[in-house]
Amino acid sequence: MLGQFVSLARSFQFGHRRFTPFPALLPAFRPLCARARAMSGRPKRAPKRSRKYSDEDEPELEEEEVSDEVPLDDESEEEEEKPKKKARAPPKPKTTPKPKVKATPVASSSGWQIEKPSLLFKYYGDPKPNTKIAGVDLDGTMVNTKSGAQFPKDAADWKWFNKATPDVIRSYHDRGFKVVIFTNQGGIKSAVTGKMAEKVKGRIDAVVGELGIPCQVFAATMDDQYRKPEGGMWEFFTQNANGGVQPDLSNSFFVGDAAGRPGDFAESDKGFAAAVGIRFRLPEDEFGDMEGKRALPPGVMAKNKGEDGKPVAVNPDNAGLVSMFSQVAEKAFEEAKVEAKMKFKAINCKKVAAVLADYPAKITLANLKDVGKLQGVGKGSIAKIKEFLETGTVSELSGVDDLAGVGKAAPQLNDAGKDMANKFM
């Protein structure tokens, strides 16, 4: 078919001009065909040639007859089709890391500052740097809850340890001491800007406002290096909040209630003073006897339970008293099924049993005054304790005798504290 086309092209004339023979055009068309194959993905194959004509018979084209747009080199076309490699990005210059800068405390409009993550502190008035420090705990030392609850219900739920407390603390300032309050406030935890934190800060503002002297307050909110008995609060105070002046440990002291005594919930205050290296004092020694009741120890109603769910005394010498109050409570609950008001008595006796079960010291006639300060232990409960210690039973429980193994023959009957107990009653 190609031969017929060539013969036809040679014999065809258009006017006085004759067409260029088709074989002469083949060299120009070959690169175009190769390019078309590459684009279609078909393998390159040799073009079909007429046997009649050989390469020697094909006349050469003059340079002007070849279009500049037709590529004359197959290899150049193939080189253009190869994908270009992406140039590698130049390596980033090494930068020297910036030195870490210690974060400054975050201050609020109320004057409270935060040393992240867990320390709240505030300056009241204009406390000057001092070598003599009078450190004081807050809850259970300076103040107690007015409601009698273990934890304050709101910012107004507080009262002084006793009436003399604020005057004694003011006298520290008058004698040349710098008053600094160190308190654990674990109820805040990590939410140092939350609702609980605002309640605690408002309560402290009210207490210090009534105190009316320049002082500083530090409150640890988490179980970390700042929480007493750890010395982190003192260390932060001496390094950042005392004008660069180091306290004289021999002329400084700390007052706190958590001393590990019978009835104390912990000994964190005593441990704090020991960690710092200053003298430790009790609030009773500084301010006098506490007014009102102590709050219930944390979780006292849920711990010290036996297999039957009843409280078990941590001090075996108090087992009889604990059992007596548990039995009175059971009896009152039964009577409450008929007389509703007995339910209040039942709940109270159950609470007293739990409180006495957690009391570490042996209860005698001599220490009834201290026992009477426990939350929930009122005059009626003291009367039952006194009756039991003297007779080995109580009139409410007929047939129960010598529950603690200390009945009428008990050495407490000849206790020197008996007259004191009668006076207390």
Give the pLDDT confidence score for residue 103 in this predicted structure: 54
CATH of segment(s) 106-287: 3.40.50.1000
Query: Other C-beta atoms within 10 Å of 403: how many?
Result: 19
Give the pLDDT confidence score for residue 42 in this predicted structure: 56
Give the pLDDT confidence score for residue 151 in this predicted structure: 84
CATH of segment(s) 316-424: 1.10.150.110
Give the pLDDT confidence score for residue 147 in this predicted structure: 85
List Cβ neighbours of 234 (8 Å cut-off, separation of 6 or more). Answer: 135, 182, 272, 275, 276
List per-residue pLDDT tens for the chain, 425 residues long: 455 555 545 554 444 455 555 566 666 666 666 666 666 655 555 555 555 444 444 444 444 444 444 444 444 444 445 555 556 666 666 555 554 445 567 766 689 999 999 999 999 999 999 999 999 999 999 999 988 777 889 999 999 999 999 999 999 999 999 999 999 999 999 999 999 999 999 999 999 999 999 999 999 999 999 999 999 999 999 999 999 999 999 999 999 999 988 777 789 999 999 999 999 999 999 999 888 777 666 666 677 788 788 899 989 999 999 999 999 999 999 999 998 889 989 998 998 999 899 888 899 999 888 888 887 788 899 999 999 999 998 998 875 444 444 444 344 434 444 444 454 44
| Cα separation, 161 vs 143, whole angstroms | 5
| Cα separation, 202 vs 152, whole angstroms | 12
Give the pLDDT confidence score for residue 45 in this predicted structure: 57
Give the pLDDT confidence score for residue 325 in this predicted structure: 93
In the chain, residues under CATH classification 1.10.150.110 are 316-424
Instruction: Detail the DSSP E strand segments found in 15-93.
Output: 17-18
- This prediction has a pTM of 0.61
Give the pLDDT confidence score for residue 412 in this predicted structure: 43
Distances (CA, A) of 52 to 3, 10, 23, 33, 56: 8, 14, 11, 22, 11
In the chain, residues under CATH classification 3.40.50.1000 are 106-287
| Cα separation, 117 vs 96, whole angstroms | 28
